[in-house]
Amino acid sequence: MASRRIAQSRVNWSALAERVPPNQKANFAAFKTKSDTYLRSVLANPENPPQINWSHYKQLIPVAGMVDTFQKQYEALKIPYPTENVTPQVEAQLKETQSDIETFKKNSQARIAEFQKSIEHLKSLLPYEQMTMEDFRDAHPELALDPINRPTFWPHDAEEQRDIKDRPQGDH
């Protein structure tokens, strides 16, 4: 597996900052600071380990085979680059979110169409200032007073509109 060197952050911080709610700005700033600190620490180290002049050490160290053993161990040392296995999960979540967004858009368009019909109906009515009680009853039969079929009692608010049989006897 070939290792890749991180050259710069692949995160579009400005686009991400636009989507952060105002109450989460401090958390976002702390997260960005941690990410930048990590990137700087990675970039501060060389991409490859330093080259060692083994022949120089072979001349200086009298113990036979010791430098050769260290050289073999040093050259055998391979620090694995972490495997990237999160992208498929993120892409699956992205597809799911996209489908949820499309469903929400379709439902919103349906609600908008219903609201447009309601607006058109209200625009077709007489202005309330010009309506008579009969006009209001014709436009809104569920809200209009109907003393025959649905009698109400003064002061005609919701709390006072109990059934007559629920009222105490001396309350007539």
Q: What is the mean pLDDT of the chain?
A: 85
Task: List C-alpha distances in Å: 169 to 67, 161, 165, 166, 172.
Answer: 111, 16, 9, 9, 7
Tokens representing 52?
């060692």
The pLDDT tens digits of the residues spanning 54-105 come to: 899 888 888 888 999 999 998 888 877 778 888 899 999 999 999 999 999 9
Q: Please give the Cα distance from 86 to 106 (Å, whole number).
A: 30
Could you tell me the pTM of the whole model? 0.42
Q: Please give the Cα distance from 40 to 144 (Å, whole number).
A: 72
Q: What is the DSSP secondary-structure string of 51-70?
A: P--HHHHHHH--STTHHHHH
Residue 73 in contact with residue 49, Cβ under 8 Å? no
How much of the chain, in percent, has pLDDT values that exceed 90? 36
Q: Please give the Cα distance from 70 to 59 (Å, whole number).
A: 14
